[in-house]
Amino acid sequence: MSAKLSVEGVTKRYGALTAVDSIDIEFGTTKKYGLIGPNGAGKTTLFDLISGVQRPNEGEIIYDGTPITNEPPHVITERGLAKTFQEGEVFDDMTVIENLLAVWSGSLHDGLEYGETLLEQFEMLHVRDLPAGDLSGGQTKVIGLIRTLMTQPEFVLLDEVLAGVNPTLQRTILSDLDDMHEDGVTFVMIEHDINAIMEFTDYVFALSDGRLIAEGTPEEVRNDEIVLESYLGESA
């Protein structure tokens, strides 16, 4: 199967610092992917480059056969590729359901129905009419995820969606994402909890100092000597 998303020779520099260094990665549609590495490895920068938040100095990003390297974020989202944010992304002065409708492109009736379905699925229906600014940090993260899913993406970059979320809700989120994957949505996950990534994903890419240092099944990457030295050994 040809790649759904290809990152080809992508480099991002900030002055003398190279945050992403000649990365080549391909993502298909049949797997759930993980992206791991120590702080400063370039994970979130790579997500920002893919989603159009930043632009690379070199290289090309191709989604569904179309170059998206210089496209703005809203165009990339319209193509079906969406990204969550580490801190969640909500408008504090709007209710939760209004936050969801703000990114909905169809009719109001359909948006309300779909938003309520997602809220119920992620066990958040009880906060439907609360101001988003009144939510806890964990609730904000979940609503930020749901807000991303309201764009009905085919491919989602998950940037630490479990951080600050209680363990019970974490299990619900991962179960729901599994179900969505079975329905055809592809996920790429960055997560501080390495065990969550290893349990959720089918294939893992490991970065260090902006470079790709290993890839393979979770078990293969977990046991890779270079990965153990650069990342996993630090948290053991």
- Could you report the average pLDDT of every consecutive run of 10 residues in the chain (236 residues)? 86 96 96 94 96 97 96 95 80 95 93 97 96 92 94 95 90 94 96 91 96 96 89 50
Strand partners, 34: 189, 204
Tell me the angle at which helices 137-149 and 108-121 cross, rounded to the nearest 10 degrees.
130
CA–CA distances in Å: residue 150 to residues 48, 66, 112, 147, 155 = 20, 23, 10, 5, 13
* pLDDT at position 235: 43
* pLDDT at position 87: 58
- Exposure letters 149-166 (e unless 16+ CB within 10 A, then b): bbbebbbbbbbbbbbbbe
* pLDDT at position 86: 62
Q: Is 156 helix (H, G, I), strand (E, B) or coil?
A: strand
What is the separation, in whole angstroms, between the first and last Cα of the chain? 36
Q: Rounded to the nearest 5 degrees, what angle is found at the Cα of 43, between the Cα atoms of 39 and 44? A: 95
Contact 164, 138 (CB under 8 A): yes
Radius of gyration of the chain (CA): 18
CA distance 111 to 96: 13
Q: Is 102 helix (H, G, I), strand (E, B) or coil?
A: coil
The two tokens of residue 142 are: 């979940």
Burial class of residue 53, CB neighbours in 10 A (0-12, 13-18, 19+): middle
For domain 5-235, the CATH superfamily is: P-loop containing nucleotide triphosphate hydrolases (3.40.50.300)
What is this structure's pTM? 0.91
Contact 173, 150 (CB under 8 A): no
* pLDDT at position 2: 63
* pLDDT at position 1: 43
**Which pairs from 136-141 meet CB under 8 Å and 24+ separation?**
137/88, 137/164, 138/164, 138/165, 138/166, 138/169, 140/87, 140/88, 140/90, 141/87, 141/88, 141/165
Which residues are CB-neighbours of 142 under 8 A, at least 6 positions away? 88, 122, 124, 161, 165, 169, 173
